[in-house]
C-alpha cells in the first residue's frame, strides 16, 4: 500500500510539473520553476527508498529526499516574498542558500559520519514495506531550526502584506499560506498521523497545485507583463534588436511588415550584410553610437511615416545591444506639416504687418523731423542730407578690417539721424527763426534743444522692443553737439565719453551746415568746408574718424553736387 502511495504521488508531481511547463512564461519567478523541478526529484527519492532492500540504496534514496527538505522550504519562502512584493537583498538570499546548502552537505554524510544521523537502518514491516530507522544527530536539530526560521519569515511576510499591502491580492495570500503551512506541519507531525507513510510528499503535491492556482491568478494581476506581451505580439509597434557587434537578434512581425528588409536578416548574422539597410538601420546605429541624444529617426514607406526610437537593449541592468522601437507617426507628421505651413504663412503675414508698422513708424518720425525743420531758418532738406552723409561715413567704416561696427548699428544710426534735432520743437520761433547771431541768453535756450530732443526721443520710443535703436536715437539727439575737446554741450563730454553714434552725427551735421545756404549766411565751397572739418579733427571731431571722412569725401561731394542745399 505504501509503495503504491509513493508511486502515485511521484506520477502526480511529474504531471503537475508538465502542466507548469506547458503554461511557463519567461516572466515567471525563477523560484516557481525551481519548486516544480525539485518536487518530482524529491518524490522520486521516496519511491526509490520504499523500493530499496539494501541499506546503501536506502541511504542514497534518503539523501535524494532531503534535496526537497533542505531547498524547497527556501524556494517557497523566496517565492512568497516575491509575490508579496517584499525585496530581499542579494546577500540575504545568499546567506539563506548557504544555510540550506550547509545542512544538505551534512545530509550527504549519512552512513559515514554521525553529524546528521548517528545511526541509520532498515526495518521491514509486516506488509513488506521498508522503513528507515534513524537516530538524529546535531545537524538535524539545525535542520529543524532552519525550517522554523524560514516558516516564520514566510508567515511574517504574508501577515505583513495582508495588513499593509493593498497591491497584493488577499486570495493570493490565502493560496500561498497553504503550502508553507502544510509542508511545515508534515515535517513535524506527518509521521504520527498515518503509520508507515510520510505526508510530506503529499504536501508537496498540495504545494504544486496551490502554486499553479497562484500562477494563474498572478498572470491576470500582472498588468505589466500581460500588456507587454499583447503590445509586442499584436500591437502596432515594431521591435528590432541587435547586439553591440550589430548582429541581428530578432524582431516582431510588425517590424518586419514596416521594414521588409528585416525579414531577410538571419539571427546572429551582422546587419551590415544587408545593403538595403545601409541608409536606415546601420546609419541609425552609427549616429546613436556617436551621440546618444540622436535617437529619433523617421522612416518613410508606402505613404506612411514611422518614428524610430533607438535605445540600448537591456538584460536586467546590463546593456547588451541596441533596440529599435517603431511607431506609426504619419498623423503627427501630417499635423506638424500643416502647422509648419500655417506658421510659415502666419510669419509672412506678421512680417508684412510688422514691415508696414515699421514703415509707418519711420514715416511718422520723418514727418515730425520735417515739421521741426520747417520751423527752422534752413533751406530745407537738412535731415535727409545729414542722414545720407551718415550712411556714406558708416559705409567707409564698414570697409575697414579693424572696424568692429555691425550692420545693425549702421542701419540704426542712419535711421536715427533724422531725429537729431527733434528738440528744436521746444524752442521759441523768435529764437529758432532769428536771422542773425544769438545773444548769450538766446544761445542758452537754443542749446536746450539737445537735452529736450533726447527726452522727446525717449518718450516716442519708450516701450519699443528694439532697445539698441532706442539708445542710438537718444544718444544722437542728446550728444551730437558735444565736442572731442570737451567744449561742446549740453554736458561737456570729452573724447570717448561721447557715444560713437553722436561723434559720427556731429561730422554730418556740421558739414551740412557749412555747405548749405542759410538766411544769415551763404553756402561754403566743398574745399572750404573740407578745410574746416579737417581742422576740427581732434578738437571738434573724433580724430579717429578722419580717415573715414577723407575716404567718403568724394562721394559726399558728389551727392551734394546733385542735391539742392
Q: Which helix (H) or strand (E) holds 120?
A: strand 117-124
Interatomic CA distance for residues 93 and 71, integer angstroms: 12
pLDDT tens by residue, 450-480: 898 889 888 888 877 778 888 999 999 999 9
Q: How many CA atoms lie within 13 A of 442 on its CB side?
A: 12
User: Alpha-carbon distance 71 to 523, whole Å?
Assistant: 116
Residue 493 pLDDT: 93
**Residue 396: how many CB atoms within 10 A of its CB?**
18
Helix (H) or strand (E) holding 394: helix 382-399
Q: How far apart are CA 12 and CA 42, in angstroms?
A: 13
What local confidence, expressed as pLDDT, does residue 223 receive?
41
Closest CA to 515 of 499, 537, 501, 532: 532
The set of long-range contacts for 484-490, using a CB threshold of 8 Å and a minimum separation of 24, is 484/538, 484/539, 484/540, 484/541, 484/542, 484/543, 485/538, 485/539, 485/540, 488/540, 489/447, 489/450, 490/447, 490/448, 490/450, 490/451
Q: Does the CA dihedral 246-250-252-257 come out positive or negative?
A: positive
Q: Give the single-character DSSP code of 509.
A: H
Q: Which of 44, 3, 48, 39 is nearest to 18 (CA)?
A: 39
Q: Give the 3-state secondary structure of residue 397.
A: helix
pLDDT at 226: 47
CA atoms of 532 and 216, how far apart (whole Å): 104
What is the C-alpha separation between 105 and 97, in angstroms, rounded? 12
- All three cell numbers of 163, joined, read 495588513
Cα 156 to Cα 73, 88, 167, 545, 562, distances in angstroms: 15, 14, 17, 91, 105
CA-nearest of 273, 261, 268, 265 to 321 is 268
pLDDT at 496: 92
How many Å apart are CA 210 and CA 229, to the nearest integer? 25
Which residues make beta-bridge pairs with 133?
Answer: 121
The Cβ-side half-sphere exposure at 408, using a 13 Å CA radius, reads 6
- Which residues in the chain come in under a pLDDT of 50? 126-128, 192, 220-224, 226-227, 379
In terms of phi and psi (left: phi > 0; alpha: psi -120 to 50; beta: otherwise), the region of 132 is: beta
Question: Can you spell out the DSSP letters for 1-49?
Answer: -HHHHHHHHHHHHHHHHHHHHHH--TTS-HHHHHHHHHHHHHHHHHHHH
Question: Residue 307 and residue 409: Cα distance in Å, rounded?
Answer: 45
Please state, in angstroms and as integers, the Cα–Cα distance from residue 324 to each residue in 130, 250, 272, following that order: 63, 11, 16
pLDDT digit string, tens, across residues 171-207: 888 888 888 888 888 877 765 455 567 888 888 899 8
Q: What does each C-alpha distance from 35 to 71, 102, 174, 200 come to in angstroms?
A: 9, 19, 19, 14
Report the b/e string of 6-34 with b at 16+ CB within 10 A.
Answer: beebbebbeebbeebeeeeeeebbebbbb
Task: Please give the helix or strand (H or E) that residue 176 lies within, else none.
Answer: helix 170-193
Question: Can you list the domains of the chain with their CATH numbers?
Answer: 2-227 (1.20.1070), 235-328 (3.30.450.20), 353-561 (1.10.3210.10)
Q: Beta strand pairing status for 238-243 and 130-136?
A: unpaired
First to last CA, the chain: 134
What is the model's pLDDT at position 54?
79
- Quote the pLDDT of residue 425: 79
The residue length of the chain stands at 565
Amino acid at each position: 500500500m505504501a509503495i503504491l502511495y509513493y508511486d502515485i504521488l511521484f506520477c502526480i508531481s511529474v504531471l503537475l510539473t508538465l502542466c507548469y511547463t506547458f503554461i511557463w512564461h519567461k516572466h515567471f519567478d525563477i523560484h516557481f520553476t525551481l519548486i516544480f523541478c525539485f518536487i518530482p526529484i524529491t518524490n522520486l527519492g521516496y519511491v526509490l527508498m520504499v523500493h530499496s532492500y539494501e541499506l546503501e540504496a536506502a541511504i542514497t534514496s534518503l539523501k535524494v529526499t532531503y534535496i526537497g527538505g533542505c531547498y524547497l522550504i527556501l524556494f517557497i519562502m523566496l517565492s512568497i516574498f516575491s509575490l508579496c512584493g517584499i525585496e530581499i537583498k542579494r546577500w540575504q538570499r545568499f546567506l539563506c542558500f548557504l544555510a540550506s546548502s550547509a545542512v544538505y552537505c551534512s545530509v550527504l554524510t549519512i552512513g559515514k559520519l554521525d553529524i546528521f544521523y548517528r545511526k541509520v537502518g532498515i526495518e521491514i514491516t509486516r506488509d513488506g514495506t521498508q522503513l528507515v530507522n534513524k537516530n538524529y544527530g546535531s545537524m538535524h536539530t539545525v535542520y529543524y531550526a532552519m525550517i522554523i526560521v524560514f516558516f516564520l519569515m514566510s508567515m511574517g511576510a504574508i501577515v505583513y502584506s495582508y495588513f499593509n499591502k493593498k497591491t497584493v491580492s488577499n486570495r493570493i495570500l490565502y493560496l500561498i499560506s497553504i503550502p508553507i503551512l502544510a509542508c511545515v506541519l508534515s515535517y513535524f507531525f506527518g509521521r504520527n498521523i498515518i503509520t508507515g507513510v510520510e505526508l510530506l510528499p503529499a504536501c508537496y503535491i498540495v504545494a504544486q497545485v496551490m502554486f499553479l492556482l497562484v500562477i494563474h491568478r498572478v498572470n491576470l494581476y500582472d498588468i505589466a507583463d500581460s500588456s507587454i506581451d499583447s503590445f509586442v505580439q499584436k500591437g502596432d509597434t515594431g521591435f528590432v534588436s541587435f547586439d553591440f557587434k550589430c548582429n541581428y537578434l530578432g524582431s516582431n512581425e510588425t517590424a518586419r511588415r514596416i521594414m521588409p528588409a528585416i525579414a531577410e536578416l538571419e539571427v546572429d548574422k551582422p546587419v551590415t550584410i544587408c545593403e538595403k539597410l545601409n541608409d536606415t538601420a546601420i546609419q541609425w546605429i552609427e549616429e546613436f553610437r556617436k551621440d546618444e541624444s540622436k535617437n529619433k529617426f523617421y522612416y518613410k514607406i508606402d505613404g506612411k511615416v514611422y518614428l524610430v526610437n533607438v535605445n540600448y537593449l537591456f538584460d536586467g541592468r546590463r546593456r547588451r545591444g541596441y533596440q529599435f522601437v517603431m511607431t506609426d507617426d504619419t498623423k503627427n507628421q501630417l499635423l506638424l506639416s500643416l502647422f509648419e505651413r500655417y506658421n510659415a504663412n502666419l510669419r509672412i503675414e506678421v512680417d508684412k504687418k510688422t514691415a508696414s508698422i515699421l514703415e509707418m513708424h519711420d514715416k511718422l518720425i520723418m514727418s515730425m523731423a520735417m515739421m521741426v525743420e520747417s520751423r527752422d531758418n534752413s533751406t530745407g532738406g537738412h535731415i535727409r542730407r545729414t542722414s545720407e552723409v551718415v550712411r556714406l561715413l558708416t559705409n567707409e567704416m564698414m570697409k575697414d578690417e579693424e572696424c568692429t561696427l555691425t550692420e545693425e548699428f549702421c542701419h540704426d544710426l542712419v535711421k536715427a539721424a533724422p531725429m537729431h534735432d527733434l528738440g528744436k520743437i521746444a524752442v521759441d520761433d523768435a529764437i529758432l527763426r532769428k536771422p542773425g547771431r544769438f545773444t548769450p541768453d538766446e544761445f542758452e535756450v537754443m542749446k536746450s534743444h539737445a537735452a529736450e530732443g533726447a527726452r522727446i526721443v525717449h518718450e516716442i520710443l519708450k516701450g519699443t522692443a528694439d532697445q539698441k535703436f532706442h539708445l542710438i536715437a537718444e544718444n544722437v539727439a542728446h550728444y551730437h553737439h558735444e565736442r572731442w575737446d570737451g567744449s561742446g554741450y549740453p554736458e561737456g563730454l570729452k573724447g570717448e565719453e561721447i557715444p560713437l553714434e553722436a561723434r559720427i552725427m556731429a561730422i554730418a551735421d556740421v558739414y551740412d551746415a557749412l555747405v548749405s545756404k542759410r538766411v544769415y549766411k551763404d553756402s561754403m565751397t566743398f574745399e572750404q568746408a573740407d578745410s574746416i572739418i579737417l581742422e576740427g579733427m581732434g578738437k571738434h571731431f573724433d580724430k579717429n574718424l578722419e580717415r573715414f571722412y577723407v575716404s567718403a569725401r568724394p562721394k559726399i561731394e558728389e551727392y551734394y553736387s546733385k542735391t539742392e542745399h
